[in-house]
Protein backbone atom coordinates (compact mmCIF):
# COMPACT_ATOMS: atom_id res chain seq x y z
CA UNK A 1 0.00 0.00 0.00
CA UNK A 2 1.59 3.28 -1.16
CA UNK A 3 1.32 6.80 0.11
CA UNK A 4 -1.24 7.85 -2.51
CA UNK A 5 -3.48 4.77 -2.44
CA UNK A 6 -6.09 6.56 -0.32
CA UNK A 7 -6.33 9.71 -2.42
CA UNK A 8 -10.00 10.31 -1.56
CA UNK A 9 -9.33 10.53 2.20
CA UNK A 10 -8.51 13.99 3.50
CA UNK A 11 -8.84 16.15 6.58
CA UNK A 12 -10.39 19.57 6.31
CA UNK A 13 -8.82 22.12 8.64
CA UNK A 14 -10.76 25.02 10.05
CA UNK A 15 -8.93 28.37 10.00
CA UNK A 16 -8.02 29.58 13.48
CA UNK A 17 -8.68 33.23 12.78
CA UNK A 18 -10.03 35.31 9.97
CA UNK A 19 -7.51 37.52 8.17
CA UNK A 20 -9.12 40.75 7.10
CA UNK A 21 -6.72 41.30 4.23
CA UNK A 22 -3.74 39.73 2.58
CA UNK A 23 -0.35 41.40 2.55
CA UNK A 24 0.61 42.50 -0.95
CA UNK A 25 3.96 41.31 -2.26
CA UNK A 26 4.94 43.30 -5.31
CA UNK A 27 7.69 42.98 -7.88
CA UNK A 28 9.12 46.39 -8.78
CA UNK A 29 12.15 47.82 -10.53
CA UNK A 30 14.26 50.93 -10.19
CA UNK A 31 15.40 52.26 -13.56
CA UNK A 32 16.08 55.81 -12.35
CA UNK A 33 16.35 57.73 -9.10
CA UNK A 34 12.76 59.04 -9.36
CA UNK A 35 11.47 55.44 -9.11
CA UNK A 36 12.45 55.48 -5.43
CA UNK A 37 9.37 57.68 -4.80
CA UNK A 38 7.09 54.84 -5.90
CA UNK A 39 8.95 52.32 -3.73
CA UNK A 40 8.71 54.61 -0.69
CA UNK A 41 4.97 55.17 -1.23
CA UNK A 42 4.24 51.46 -1.52
CA UNK A 43 6.36 50.74 1.55
CA UNK A 44 4.33 53.26 3.56
CA UNK A 45 1.14 51.58 2.28
CA UNK A 46 2.35 48.25 3.69
CA UNK A 47 3.60 46.39 0.63
CA UNK A 48 6.47 43.94 0.69
CA UNK A 49 8.53 44.44 -2.45
CA UNK A 50 11.04 42.52 -4.49
CA UNK A 51 12.85 45.31 -6.33
CA UNK A 52 15.09 44.77 -9.32
CA UNK A 53 17.96 47.27 -9.28
CA UNK A 54 20.04 45.87 -12.15
CA UNK A 55 19.03 48.48 -14.71
CA UNK A 56 20.00 51.48 -12.57
CA UNK A 57 23.14 49.72 -11.27
CA UNK A 58 24.33 49.26 -14.86
CA UNK A 59 23.39 52.83 -15.80
CA UNK A 60 24.61 54.83 -12.77
CA UNK A 61 25.89 53.25 -9.55
CA UNK A 62 26.00 56.58 -7.68
CA UNK A 63 22.35 57.26 -8.50
CA UNK A 64 21.47 53.75 -7.30
CA UNK A 65 23.28 54.36 -4.00
CA UNK A 66 21.31 57.60 -3.52
CA UNK A 67 18.02 55.84 -4.27
CA UNK A 68 18.82 52.98 -1.90
CA UNK A 69 19.81 55.37 0.87
CA UNK A 70 16.50 57.18 0.43
CA UNK A 71 14.54 53.91 0.60
CA UNK A 72 16.59 52.80 3.60
CA UNK A 73 15.70 56.01 5.51
CA UNK A 74 12.02 55.37 4.80
CA UNK A 75 12.39 51.77 6.03
CA UNK A 76 13.89 53.04 9.28
CA UNK A 77 11.12 55.64 9.66
CA UNK A 78 8.33 53.06 9.31
CA UNK A 79 10.16 50.33 11.24
CA UNK A 80 10.67 48.24 8.12
CA UNK A 81 13.63 46.39 6.69
CA UNK A 82 15.71 46.30 3.52
CA UNK A 83 18.19 43.68 2.36
CA UNK A 84 20.13 42.92 -0.78
CA UNK A 85 19.30 39.66 -2.51
CA UNK A 86 22.22 39.19 -4.86
CA UNK A 87 23.52 41.96 -7.07
CA UNK A 88 20.30 42.59 -8.98
CA UNK A 89 17.57 42.56 -6.32
CA UNK A 90 16.62 44.04 -2.96
CA UNK A 91 13.79 43.07 -0.64
CA UNK A 92 11.93 45.87 1.13
CA UNK A 93 9.39 45.22 3.87
CA UNK A 94 7.21 47.27 6.24
CA UNK A 95 7.24 46.82 10.02
CA UNK A 96 4.74 43.93 10.09
CA UNK A 97 7.19 41.65 8.22
CA UNK A 98 10.67 40.59 9.22
CA UNK A 99 13.33 39.64 6.69
CA UNK A 100 15.27 36.66 8.03
CA UNK A 101 18.89 36.71 6.98
Residues 6+ apart with CB under 8 A from 44: 74, 78, 94
Mean of the per-residue pLDDT values of the chain: 88
Architecture of the 25-93 domain:
2-Layer Sandwich (3.30)
pLDDT tens by residue, 22-60: 888 999 999 999 999 999 999 999 999 999 999 999 999
Residues 6+ apart with CB under 8 A from 56: 30, 31, 32, 33, 35, 63, 64, 67
| CA 92 vs CA 39, 60, 65: distances in Å | 9, 21, 15
Across 11-23, average pLDDT: 69
pTM, two decimal places: 0.75
Across 87-93, average pLDDT: 95
Amino acid sequence: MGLFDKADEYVELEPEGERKSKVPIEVERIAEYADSDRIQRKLREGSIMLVRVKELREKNVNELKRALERIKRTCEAVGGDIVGAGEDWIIVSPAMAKIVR
